[in-house]
Amino acid sequence: MTGTTLSSAGLDVRRRKTHFRCWHRGMREMDLILGRFADAQIALLDDAELDELDQLLDEQDSDLLNWLTNQQALPADIDTPFFRKIAAFAGATIR
């Protein structure tokens, strides 16, 4: 079971694929963070935000988690309003 609360029935192909990738990361912590974010926001994201989310999904789970928990400095190219939107959704405070 993934934990998702969203049916992909009403989503276009791109959003379905991205939603799936958010819930199937490899690290359960990131499944829960990105998956829940996707459940709540995937239908509302514009193309630019979907592009950015797809790029973030190419990052290593351990790096994403370290950035969200301030265990590692956030790289300038990752420090975007969209990443901070994910962090705020997850209850993380980025320094």
- Per residue in 25-35, pLDDT (tens digit) is 989 999 999 99
How does residue 85 score in pLDDT terms, banded at 50, 70 and 90? very high
User: Is 6 part of a structural domain of the chain?
Assistant: no
User: Is 4 part of a structural domain of the chain?
Assistant: no
The domain that holds 42 is classified in CATH as: 1.10.150.250
Per-residue pLDDT, 1? 43
Alpha carbons 38 and 20: distance in angstroms, whole number: 9
Question: Residue ranges of the alpha helices (H) in the chain?
Answer: 13-23, 28-41, 47-56, 61-68, 81-90
Place of tokens 């301030």: 70
Is the separation of the CB atoms in 32 and 64 below 8 Å? no
Name the domain count of the chain. 1
At 19-66, the pLDDT tens digits run 999 999 989 999 999 999 999 999 999 999 999 999 999 999 999 999
User: Is 58 part of a structural domain of the chain?
Assistant: yes
Q: What mean pLDDT value characterizes the chain? A: 91
How does residue 11 score in pLDDT terms, banded at 50, 70 and 90? confident
User: Is 2 part of a structural domain of the chain?
Assistant: no
Q: What is the DSSP letter of 74?
A: P
Per-residue pLDDT, 68? 95
Q: How far apart are the first and last CA of the chain?
A: 34
Q: What count of residues does the chain have?
A: 95
Question: Which residue range(s) make up the domain with 78?
Answer: 12-90
